[in-house]
Amino acid sequence: MGVSVLVGSQWGDEGKGKIVDILSENFDIVARYQGGANAGHTVKIGNDEYILHLIPSGILRENVICVIGNGVVIDPTALLKEIRFLEENNIKVDGRLFISQNAHLIMPYHKLLDNISEQGSTKIGTTGRGIGPCYIDKYARKGIRIVDLLDKKILEEKIRNNLKEKNNIIKKVYEQEELNVNEIVAQYMEFDEIIDRYIKDVPTFLNTSIAEGKSVLLEGAQGALLDVDHGTYPFVTSSNPTSGGACTGTGVAPTKINSVIGIVKAYTTRVGEGPFPTELLDEDGEKLRKIGAEFGATTGRPRRCGWFDAPLVKYSTMINDTTFAALTKLDVLNGFDKIKVCVGYKVDGKLLNSFPTNIEQLNKVVPVYESCEGWNKDITECKSYSELPKATKEYLNFISEKSETKFGIISVGPKRKQTFFTDNYKPN
Protein backbone atom coordinates (compact mmCIF):
# COMPACT_ATOMS: atom_id res chain seq x y z
CA MET A 1 0.00 0.00 0.00
CA GLY A 2 2.99 2.37 0.33
CA VAL A 3 2.38 5.75 1.92
CA SER A 4 -0.98 7.48 1.59
CA VAL A 5 -2.28 10.74 2.96
CA LEU A 6 -5.94 11.02 3.92
CA VAL A 7 -7.41 14.53 3.92
CA GLY A 8 -10.78 16.10 4.55
CA SER A 9 -11.80 17.83 1.32
CA GLN A 10 -14.34 20.33 2.65
CA TRP A 11 -14.80 21.98 6.08
CA GLY A 12 -14.20 18.87 8.20
CA ASP A 13 -16.52 16.10 9.41
CA GLU A 14 -16.55 14.44 5.99
CA GLY A 15 -16.35 10.97 7.55
CA LYS A 16 -12.55 10.66 7.79
CA GLY A 17 -12.77 8.45 10.89
CA LYS A 18 -14.94 5.89 9.14
CA ILE A 19 -12.74 5.74 6.04
CA VAL A 20 -9.48 5.56 8.04
CA ASP A 21 -11.01 2.62 9.90
CA ILE A 22 -11.90 0.89 6.62
CA LEU A 23 -8.52 1.52 5.00
CA SER A 24 -6.39 0.75 8.04
CA GLU A 25 -7.24 -2.92 7.64
CA ASN A 26 -4.56 -2.81 4.92
CA PHE A 27 -2.04 -0.47 6.56
CA ASP A 28 0.68 -1.26 9.09
CA ILE A 29 0.86 2.23 10.59
CA VAL A 30 -1.59 5.14 10.88
CA ALA A 31 -0.16 8.54 11.86
CA ARG A 32 -2.01 11.78 12.72
CA TYR A 33 -0.17 14.83 11.39
CA GLN A 34 -1.90 18.03 12.61
CA GLY A 35 -4.67 19.50 14.71
CA GLY A 36 -5.55 18.37 18.18
CA ALA A 37 -8.58 17.51 20.25
CA ASN A 38 -10.62 19.91 18.11
CA ALA A 39 -11.11 16.87 15.84
CA GLY A 40 -13.85 14.33 16.39
CA HIS A 41 -13.51 11.22 14.22
CA THR A 42 -16.37 8.78 14.54
CA VAL A 43 -16.10 5.06 13.85
CA LYS A 44 -19.08 2.73 14.10
CA ILE A 45 -18.33 -0.95 14.58
CA GLY A 46 -21.48 -3.03 14.93
CA ASN A 47 -23.53 -1.27 17.59
CA ASP A 48 -20.51 0.42 19.17
CA GLU A 49 -19.52 3.99 18.42
CA TYR A 50 -16.03 5.36 19.05
CA ILE A 51 -15.20 9.06 18.80
CA LEU A 52 -11.47 9.72 18.53
CA HIS A 53 -10.01 13.16 19.03
CA LEU A 54 -6.22 12.70 19.13
CA ILE A 55 -5.44 9.04 18.64
CA PRO A 56 -5.57 7.85 15.01
CA SER A 57 -8.70 5.93 14.07
CA GLY A 58 -6.43 2.99 13.14
CA ILE A 59 -6.25 2.12 16.86
CA LEU A 60 -9.46 0.12 16.43
CA ARG A 61 -7.63 -2.46 14.24
CA GLU A 62 -5.48 -4.53 16.54
CA ASN A 63 -2.60 -5.08 14.10
CA VAL A 64 -2.12 -1.41 13.37
CA ILE A 65 0.52 0.77 15.04
CA CYS A 66 -0.62 4.36 15.68
CA VAL A 67 1.49 7.47 15.77
CA ILE A 68 0.86 11.07 16.83
CA GLY A 69 3.20 13.26 14.80
CA ASN A 70 5.05 16.46 15.71
CA GLY A 71 2.42 18.56 13.88
CA VAL A 72 -0.28 17.62 16.39
CA VAL A 73 -0.95 19.74 19.50
CA ILE A 74 -1.60 17.50 22.47
CA ASP A 75 -3.89 18.24 25.37
CA PRO A 76 -2.78 15.84 28.12
CA THR A 77 -6.21 15.74 29.73
CA ALA A 78 -7.86 14.84 26.42
CA LEU A 79 -5.19 12.25 25.58
CA LEU A 80 -5.38 10.46 28.92
CA LYS A 81 -9.17 10.44 28.76
CA GLU A 82 -9.00 8.87 25.32
CA ILE A 83 -6.48 6.23 26.35
CA ARG A 84 -8.67 5.33 29.34
CA PHE A 85 -11.77 5.18 27.16
CA LEU A 86 -10.09 2.80 24.71
CA GLU A 87 -8.71 0.57 27.46
CA GLU A 88 -12.13 0.40 29.12
CA ASN A 89 -13.39 -0.86 25.78
CA ASN A 90 -10.68 -3.55 25.70
CA ILE A 91 -8.63 -1.84 23.03
CA LYS A 92 -4.96 -2.20 23.79
CA VAL A 93 -3.05 1.06 23.50
CA ASP A 94 0.22 0.15 25.21
CA GLY A 95 2.86 -0.85 22.65
CA ARG A 96 0.60 0.33 19.82
CA LEU A 97 0.73 4.10 20.27
CA PHE A 98 3.79 6.29 19.74
CA ILE A 99 3.94 10.03 20.30
CA SER A 100 6.47 12.43 18.80
CA GLN A 101 8.79 14.06 21.29
CA ASN A 102 8.47 17.26 19.25
CA ALA A 103 4.69 17.57 19.48
CA HIS A 104 3.58 20.70 21.31
CA LEU A 105 1.52 20.57 24.46
CA ILE A 106 -1.72 22.42 24.98
CA MET A 107 -1.42 24.22 28.31
CA PRO A 108 -4.28 25.36 30.58
CA TYR A 109 -3.65 28.97 29.50
CA HIS A 110 -4.15 28.04 25.85
CA LYS A 111 -7.68 26.81 26.53
CA LEU A 112 -8.43 29.84 28.67
CA LEU A 113 -7.13 32.28 26.04
CA ASP A 114 -8.98 30.46 23.25
CA ASN A 115 -12.26 30.85 25.09
CA ILE A 116 -11.75 34.47 26.10
CA SER A 117 -10.57 35.58 22.67
CA GLU A 118 -13.80 34.15 21.24
CA GLN A 119 -15.64 36.80 23.23
CA GLY A 120 -13.75 39.50 21.27
CA SER A 121 -14.63 41.14 17.97
CA THR A 122 -13.70 38.34 15.50
CA LYS A 123 -15.57 35.27 16.62
CA ILE A 124 -14.30 32.22 14.71
CA GLY A 125 -16.55 29.71 16.44
CA THR A 126 -13.58 27.63 17.62
CA THR A 127 -13.96 24.37 19.47
CA GLY A 128 -12.46 26.02 22.57
CA ARG A 129 -9.76 23.37 22.82
CA GLY A 130 -6.83 25.84 22.94
CA ILE A 131 -5.69 25.04 19.40
CA GLY A 132 -5.01 28.59 18.10
CA PRO A 133 -3.11 29.84 21.19
CA CYS A 134 -0.98 26.68 21.24
CA TYR A 135 0.06 27.07 17.60
CA ILE A 136 0.69 30.77 18.25
CA ASP A 137 3.23 29.81 20.93
CA LYS A 138 4.74 27.17 18.62
CA TYR A 139 5.44 29.73 15.91
CA ALA A 140 6.49 32.38 18.44
CA ARG A 141 9.02 29.77 19.65
CA LYS A 142 7.61 29.82 23.14
CA GLY A 143 5.83 26.49 23.00
CA ILE A 144 6.23 23.62 25.42
CA ARG A 145 6.90 20.30 23.77
CA ILE A 146 6.67 16.71 24.95
CA VAL A 147 10.49 16.65 25.13
CA ASP A 148 10.39 19.45 27.74
CA LEU A 149 8.70 17.08 30.17
CA LEU A 150 11.97 15.16 30.51
CA ASP A 151 13.53 17.79 32.77
CA LYS A 152 11.41 19.22 35.57
CA LYS A 153 13.68 22.27 36.00
CA ILE A 154 13.51 23.27 32.33
CA LEU A 155 9.78 22.67 32.27
CA GLU A 156 9.24 24.83 35.32
CA GLU A 157 11.34 27.64 33.89
CA LYS A 158 9.52 27.58 30.56
CA ILE A 159 6.09 27.56 32.17
CA ARG A 160 7.12 30.34 34.56
CA ASN A 161 8.34 32.50 31.66
CA ASN A 162 5.18 31.84 29.68
CA LEU A 163 2.95 32.55 32.63
CA LYS A 164 4.55 35.94 33.23
CA GLU A 165 3.23 37.03 29.86
CA LYS A 166 -0.04 35.08 29.89
CA ASN A 167 -1.02 36.04 33.43
CA ASN A 168 -0.55 39.66 32.49
CA ILE A 169 -3.06 39.28 29.67
CA ILE A 170 -5.39 37.07 31.69
CA LYS A 171 -5.40 39.44 34.66
CA LYS A 172 -4.97 42.90 33.19
CA VAL A 173 -6.82 42.58 29.90
CA TYR A 174 -9.46 40.00 30.74
CA GLU A 175 -9.69 40.56 34.50
CA GLN A 176 -9.62 36.85 35.24
CA GLU A 177 -7.76 34.94 37.93
CA GLU A 178 -4.03 34.26 37.39
CA LEU A 179 -2.85 30.69 36.79
CA ASN A 180 -0.49 29.06 39.25
CA VAL A 181 2.85 27.75 37.97
CA ASN A 182 3.32 25.03 40.61
CA GLU A 183 -0.08 23.51 39.95
CA ILE A 184 0.60 23.33 36.23
CA VAL A 185 4.08 21.85 36.69
CA ALA A 186 2.70 19.19 39.05
CA GLN A 187 -0.08 18.31 36.62
CA TYR A 188 2.29 18.01 33.62
CA MET A 189 4.87 15.99 35.56
CA GLU A 190 2.13 13.52 36.44
CA PHE A 191 1.21 13.36 32.78
CA ASP A 192 4.83 12.71 31.86
CA GLU A 193 4.93 9.62 34.05
CA ILE A 194 2.00 8.11 32.20
CA ILE A 195 3.00 8.97 28.65
CA ASP A 196 6.73 8.37 28.97
CA ARG A 197 6.40 4.90 27.48
CA TYR A 198 4.70 6.20 24.34
CA ILE A 199 7.35 8.76 23.36
CA LYS A 200 9.29 8.09 20.19
CA ASP A 201 11.58 9.62 17.59
CA VAL A 202 8.74 9.59 15.06
CA PRO A 203 10.58 10.64 11.84
CA THR A 204 13.17 7.88 12.35
CA PHE A 205 10.49 5.33 13.19
CA LEU A 206 8.32 6.19 10.19
CA ASN A 207 11.16 6.42 7.67
CA THR A 208 12.74 3.17 8.87
CA SER A 209 9.37 1.45 8.68
CA ILE A 210 8.80 2.77 5.15
CA ALA A 211 12.28 1.57 4.13
CA GLU A 212 11.38 -1.88 5.47
CA GLY A 213 8.34 -1.93 3.19
CA LYS A 214 5.70 -1.12 5.81
CA SER A 215 2.64 0.80 4.65
CA VAL A 216 1.71 4.08 6.30
CA LEU A 217 -1.53 6.05 6.26
CA LEU A 218 -1.12 9.69 7.28
CA GLU A 219 -4.42 10.80 8.82
CA GLY A 220 -5.44 14.43 8.57
CA ALA A 221 -7.93 16.18 10.80
CA GLN A 222 -10.30 19.02 9.84
CA GLY A 223 -10.48 19.78 6.11
CA ALA A 224 -8.78 21.66 3.28
CA LEU A 225 -11.03 24.71 3.59
CA LEU A 226 -10.07 25.01 7.27
CA ASP A 227 -6.37 25.11 6.35
CA VAL A 228 -4.66 28.20 7.79
CA ASP A 229 -2.96 28.89 4.43
CA HIS A 230 -5.40 27.56 1.85
CA GLY A 231 -8.75 27.80 3.62
CA THR A 232 -11.32 30.50 4.19
CA TYR A 233 -9.03 32.62 6.40
CA PRO A 234 -9.58 33.84 9.11
CA PHE A 235 -12.41 31.32 9.58
CA VAL A 236 -10.02 28.39 9.65
CA THR A 237 -8.11 26.30 12.15
CA SER A 238 -4.48 27.07 12.99
CA SER A 239 -2.76 24.17 11.20
CA ASN A 240 -2.36 22.65 7.71
CA PRO A 241 -4.86 19.84 7.13
CA THR A 242 -4.00 19.83 3.39
CA SER A 243 -1.76 17.07 2.06
CA GLY A 244 1.43 19.17 2.37
CA GLY A 245 0.88 19.31 6.13
CA ALA A 246 1.32 15.53 6.29
CA CYS A 247 5.03 15.91 5.50
CA THR A 248 5.87 18.68 7.95
CA GLY A 249 3.64 17.11 10.58
CA THR A 250 5.37 13.72 10.58
CA GLY A 251 8.84 14.01 9.02
CA VAL A 252 7.92 11.91 5.96
CA ALA A 253 9.13 13.62 2.78
CA PRO A 254 6.84 14.37 -0.22
CA THR A 255 8.87 11.96 -2.37
CA LYS A 256 7.70 9.08 -0.13
CA ILE A 257 4.00 9.71 -0.70
CA ASN A 258 2.26 7.44 -3.19
CA SER A 259 -1.30 8.69 -3.03
CA VAL A 260 -3.62 11.28 -1.55
CA ILE A 261 -7.12 10.17 -0.58
CA GLY A 262 -9.69 12.94 -0.24
CA ILE A 263 -12.80 12.49 1.86
CA VAL A 264 -15.79 14.21 0.30
CA LYS A 265 -19.27 14.44 1.77
CA ALA A 266 -22.11 14.10 -0.76
CA TYR A 267 -23.33 17.54 0.37
CA THR A 268 -21.60 20.29 2.39
CA THR A 269 -21.41 21.08 6.11
CA ARG A 270 -19.51 23.54 8.24
CA VAL A 271 -19.31 24.16 12.01
CA GLY A 272 -18.49 27.59 13.37
CA GLU A 273 -18.47 30.97 11.65
CA GLY A 274 -17.40 31.94 8.13
CA PRO A 275 -18.67 32.05 4.56
CA PHE A 276 -20.62 29.09 3.19
CA PRO A 277 -21.91 29.78 -0.35
CA THR A 278 -24.27 26.79 -0.63
CA GLU A 279 -25.65 26.98 2.92
CA LEU A 280 -29.35 26.15 3.19
CA LEU A 281 -31.25 28.10 5.80
CA ASP A 282 -34.55 26.48 4.82
CA GLU A 283 -36.27 23.15 5.40
CA ASP A 284 -33.87 21.33 3.05
CA GLY A 285 -31.00 22.39 5.35
CA GLU A 286 -32.95 21.15 8.37
CA LYS A 287 -33.64 17.89 6.57
CA LEU A 288 -29.94 17.34 5.79
CA ARG A 289 -29.03 18.08 9.42
CA LYS A 290 -31.67 15.72 10.77
CA ILE A 291 -31.12 12.79 8.40
CA GLY A 292 -27.34 13.24 8.36
CA ALA A 293 -27.24 13.62 12.18
CA GLU A 294 -25.13 16.71 11.60
CA PHE A 295 -24.14 17.61 15.12
CA GLY A 296 -20.47 18.11 16.11
CA ALA A 297 -18.68 15.00 17.39
CA THR A 298 -16.54 17.20 19.67
CA THR A 299 -18.76 20.07 20.75
CA GLY A 300 -22.25 18.78 19.91
CA ARG A 301 -22.97 22.02 17.99
CA PRO A 302 -25.47 21.77 15.09
CA ARG A 303 -23.56 21.77 11.80
CA ARG A 304 -24.58 24.21 9.09
CA CYS A 305 -25.71 22.25 6.01
CA GLY A 306 -25.91 22.96 2.28
CA TRP A 307 -25.79 21.49 -1.21
CA PHE A 308 -22.68 19.96 -2.78
CA ASP A 309 -20.26 22.67 -3.82
CA ALA A 310 -18.31 21.54 -6.91
CA PRO A 311 -15.99 24.61 -7.21
CA LEU A 312 -14.96 24.10 -3.58
CA VAL A 313 -14.19 20.39 -4.01
CA LYS A 314 -12.42 21.07 -7.31
CA TYR A 315 -10.17 23.57 -5.52
CA SER A 316 -9.56 21.10 -2.71
CA THR A 317 -8.68 18.33 -5.18
CA MET A 318 -6.19 20.70 -6.80
CA ILE A 319 -4.37 21.83 -3.66
CA ASN A 320 -4.24 18.31 -2.22
CA ASP A 321 -3.61 16.66 -5.60
CA THR A 322 -6.20 14.07 -4.60
CA THR A 323 -5.51 10.75 -6.31
CA PHE A 324 -9.06 9.57 -5.67
CA ALA A 325 -11.73 10.41 -3.13
CA ALA A 326 -14.11 8.56 -0.84
CA LEU A 327 -17.63 9.90 -1.22
CA THR A 328 -19.49 9.65 2.08
CA LYS A 329 -23.07 10.05 3.33
CA LEU A 330 -24.60 9.50 -0.10
CA ASP A 331 -27.50 7.75 1.70
CA VAL A 332 -28.44 11.03 3.44
CA LEU A 333 -29.78 12.26 0.07
CA ASN A 334 -32.15 9.25 -0.25
CA GLY A 335 -35.33 11.22 0.44
CA PHE A 336 -34.85 14.29 -1.76
CA ASP A 337 -36.93 14.69 -4.95
CA LYS A 338 -34.46 17.16 -6.45
CA ILE A 339 -30.85 17.57 -5.42
CA LYS A 340 -29.08 20.78 -6.27
CA VAL A 341 -25.38 21.03 -7.07
CA CYS A 342 -23.40 24.25 -7.18
CA VAL A 343 -21.47 24.17 -10.46
CA GLY A 344 -19.94 27.66 -10.44
CA TYR A 345 -19.63 30.95 -8.59
CA LYS A 346 -20.67 34.35 -9.92
CA VAL A 347 -19.54 37.72 -8.59
CA ASP A 348 -21.25 40.81 -10.05
CA GLY A 349 -22.77 38.59 -12.73
CA LYS A 350 -19.41 37.20 -13.88
CA LEU A 351 -18.38 33.57 -13.52
CA LEU A 352 -15.18 33.05 -11.52
CA ASN A 353 -12.45 30.83 -12.91
CA SER A 354 -11.04 29.77 -9.56
CA PHE A 355 -12.06 29.40 -5.93
CA PRO A 356 -11.75 32.72 -4.08
CA THR A 357 -10.11 32.31 -0.68
CA ASN A 358 -10.35 36.04 -0.13
CA ILE A 359 -13.13 36.30 2.39
CA GLU A 360 -14.63 39.53 1.03
CA GLN A 361 -14.99 38.00 -2.42
CA LEU A 362 -16.25 34.69 -1.07
CA ASN A 363 -18.93 36.55 0.88
CA LYS A 364 -20.15 38.04 -2.39
CA VAL A 365 -20.35 34.90 -4.52
CA VAL A 366 -23.68 33.80 -5.89
CA PRO A 367 -23.74 30.03 -6.47
CA VAL A 368 -24.87 28.79 -9.89
CA TYR A 369 -26.98 25.66 -9.39
CA GLU A 370 -28.00 22.74 -11.54
CA SER A 371 -30.56 20.20 -10.38
CA CYS A 372 -30.22 16.43 -10.35
CA GLU A 373 -33.10 13.98 -10.02
CA GLY A 374 -33.44 12.39 -6.60
CA TRP A 375 -33.67 8.58 -6.38
CA ASN A 376 -36.18 8.31 -3.53
CA LYS A 377 -34.89 4.86 -2.63
CA ASP A 378 -32.97 3.42 0.28
CA ILE A 379 -29.39 2.81 -0.87
CA THR A 380 -27.97 1.81 2.52
CA GLU A 381 -27.89 -1.87 1.53
CA CYS A 382 -26.17 -1.35 -1.84
CA LYS A 383 -22.94 -3.35 -2.05
CA SER A 384 -21.50 -2.06 -5.33
CA TYR A 385 -21.69 0.78 -7.82
CA SER A 386 -23.78 -1.38 -10.15
CA GLU A 387 -26.43 -1.87 -7.45
CA LEU A 388 -27.02 1.88 -7.11
CA PRO A 389 -30.20 3.31 -8.70
CA LYS A 390 -29.71 5.02 -12.08
CA ALA A 391 -30.37 8.50 -10.63
CA THR A 392 -27.76 7.94 -7.89
CA LYS A 393 -25.16 7.00 -10.51
CA GLU A 394 -26.10 10.10 -12.46
CA TYR A 395 -25.64 12.27 -9.36
CA LEU A 396 -22.27 10.64 -8.63
CA ASN A 397 -21.05 11.10 -12.18
CA PHE A 398 -22.31 14.68 -12.30
CA ILE A 399 -20.56 15.81 -9.10
CA SER A 400 -17.44 13.87 -10.10
CA GLU A 401 -17.29 15.67 -13.45
CA LYS A 402 -18.03 19.13 -12.03
CA SER A 403 -15.55 18.82 -9.16
CA GLU A 404 -12.93 17.03 -11.30
CA THR A 405 -12.68 14.40 -8.58
CA LYS A 406 -12.72 10.61 -9.02
CA PHE A 407 -14.57 8.58 -6.42
CA GLY A 408 -12.79 5.35 -5.55
CA ILE A 409 -14.78 4.57 -2.39
CA ILE A 410 -18.50 5.06 -1.82
CA SER A 411 -20.04 5.14 1.64
CA VAL A 412 -23.79 4.59 2.04
CA GLY A 413 -24.05 4.45 5.83
CA PRO A 414 -21.92 4.81 8.98
CA LYS A 415 -21.07 1.11 9.31
CA ARG A 416 -18.07 -0.76 7.93
CA LYS A 417 -20.15 -2.94 5.63
CA GLN A 418 -21.89 0.11 4.14
CA THR A 419 -18.84 0.85 2.01
CA PHE A 420 -17.71 -0.29 -1.43
CA PHE A 421 -14.87 0.36 -3.84
CA THR A 422 -15.03 1.41 -7.49
CA ASP A 423 -12.60 1.09 -10.41
CA ASN A 424 -11.10 4.44 -9.37
CA TYR A 425 -9.70 2.92 -6.18
CA LYS A 426 -5.95 3.02 -6.77
CA PRO A 427 -4.07 3.22 -3.49
CA ASN A 428 -0.64 3.53 -5.11
Binding site for Mg ion (CB under 5 A): 13, 40, 297
Residue 75 C-beta: closest distance to ligand IMO, Å: 11
**CB nearer ligand IMO, residue 295 or residue 420:** 295
Which of ligand IMO, ligand GDP, Mg ion, none sits in contact with 4, Cβ below 5 to 8 A by type? none
Q: Would you please indicate which residues are annotated as catalytic (active-site) residues?
A: 13, 41
Contact by Cβ (8 Å): 19, 56: no
Q: Which amino acid is at 170?
A: I
Residue 294 C-beta: closest distance to ligand IMO, Å: 11
Torsion of CA 392, 393, 395, 400, to 10 degrees: 140
3-state helix, strand, coil in the chain (%, to 5): 40, 20, 40
Following DSSP, what letter does each residue of 35-100 receive, concatenated?
B-TT--EEEEETTEEEEESSS-GGGGSTT-EEEE-TTBEE-HHHHHHHHHHHHHTT---TTTEEEE
Q: Which of residues 44-83 bind ligand GDP (CB under 6 A)?
A: 44
Q: According to the binding rule CB under 6 A, does residue 16 interact with ligand GDP?
A: yes
DSSP character at residue 295: B
> Interface mask (CB under 6 A) for ligand GDP, residues 119-138, using x and -?
--------------------
Among 7, 13, 106, 272, contact with ligand GDP (rule: CB under 6 A): 13
Which of ligand GDP, ligand IMO, Mg ion, none sits in contact with 125, Cβ below 5 to 8 A by type? ligand IMO
Burial class (CB in 10 A: 0-12, 13-18, 19+), 141: exposed
Q: Which of residues 277-336 bind ligand GDP (CB under 6 A)?
A: 293, 297, 328-329, 331-332
Residue 414 C-beta: closest distance to ligand IMO, Å: 14
Question: What is the C-alpha separation between 382 and 416, in angstroms, rounded?
Answer: 13
How many chain residues interact with ligand GDP (CB under 6 A)? 22
Q: How far apart are the first and last CA of the chain?
A: 6
**CB nearer ligand IMO, residue 237 or residue 317:** 237
Residue 172 C-beta: closest distance to ligand GDP, Å: 38
**CB nearer Mg ion, residue 12 or residue 69:** 12
Burial class (CB in 10 A: 0-12, 13-18, 19+), 125: middle
Q: Which residues of 86-117 are buried (b: 16+ CB within 10 A; e: fewer)?
A: beeeebebeebbbbbbbbbbbbbbbbbbbebb
Of 33, 35, 41, nearest to 5 by C-alpha is 33
CB-nearest residue to ligand GDP: 42
Question: What is the C-alpha separation between 122 and 234, in angstroms, rounded?
Answer: 9
What 3-state class would DSSP assign to 11?
coil
Element (H, E) at 20: helix 16-23
Piece of the chain touching ligand GDP by CB under 6 A; list 109-117, 166-174, 341-349, 405-413: 405-413
Which of ligand GDP, ligand IMO, Mg ion, none sits in contact with 44, Cβ below 5 to 8 A by type? ligand GDP
Footprint of ligand IMO on this chain (CB under 6 A)?
Answer: 8, 11-13, 38-41, 124-127, 129, 131-132, 221-223, 226, 237-238, 271-272, 297
Which of Mg ion, ligand IMO, ligand GDP, none sits in contact with 110, Cβ below 5 to 8 A by type? none
Piece of the chain touching ligand GDP by CB under 6 A; list 13-21, 133-141, 281-289, 400-408: 13-21
